[in-house]
Amino acid sequence: MSAAPALDLVALKGIAYQRIGGVSDELYGTIVRLLERHMVRERVEDIDGILETLVGEPRFVMEHMPFHISNRWWWSRKVWQGREAVIAFYQGLFRTFQSFHVDVFRYTVSPKGVVDAYRVGGRVLTRLLNFPRLGIRGIPVTLTMAAFLPYDPAERKLRGEHVYFREANALANL
């Protein structure tokens, strides 16, 4: 672990990190601040705030999907290209996972961007399995995943996300 510049972090405070590829202190700070804002905005389901951390035409790719199944369901689409598609991605994510939460437990920064390893979860099937008198409100789900968030030096923002089930696959991008 390299020494990091002093950053005022909330979502990433105390999280294990690594710097690779000769990333400068200035670039490291810029990328980590973007990741921090992105994570904080995801935690409060603030889509406009999330979009502020992304380039004008972001691209999200679910790399764990073997192929594109359909645009009909949130979970069956492989690529989300452009601002409106990314808005639809987050609307589907937050609708699918009630009580949504995301917790980063490690991140790696390079001049190409950042990889974050995280746990994401919430409750699914809350409309179908909603029996408050029995204490049942959906099924709790937690997934451990990783994402590569490429950095755009011209716009000084993130280009989007490439989501993986394995951190090693995401790290191959750096």
Residue labelled with tokens 């909330």: 10
Which tens digits make up the pLDDT trace of 117-173? Answer: 999 888 877 677 777 777 767 788 888 999 999 999 999 999 999 999 899 999 999
User: So what's the pLDDT on residue 153?
Assistant: 97
* Joined tokens for residue 49: 């705030």
**HSE (CB half, 13 Å, CA atoms) of 103?**
9
Query: pLDDT exceeding 90 applies to what percent of the chain?
Result: 59
Q: Which residue has the higher pLDDT, 129 or 19?
A: 19
> Per-residue b/e over 4-17, b at no fewer than 16 CB within 10 Å?
eeeeebebbeebeb
- What pLDDT, on a 0 to 100 scale, did the predictor assign at position 1? 47
Q: Indicate the CATH number for domain 16-171.
A: 3.10.450.50
Collapsing DSSP to helix, strand or coil, 122 comes out as: strand
Q: Which amino acid, one-letter code, is at 164?
A: Y
Query: In angstroms, rounded to a whole number, what is the distance separating the alpha carbons of residues 75 and 91?
Result: 12
Domain ranges of the chain: 16-171
pTM of the full structure = 0.87
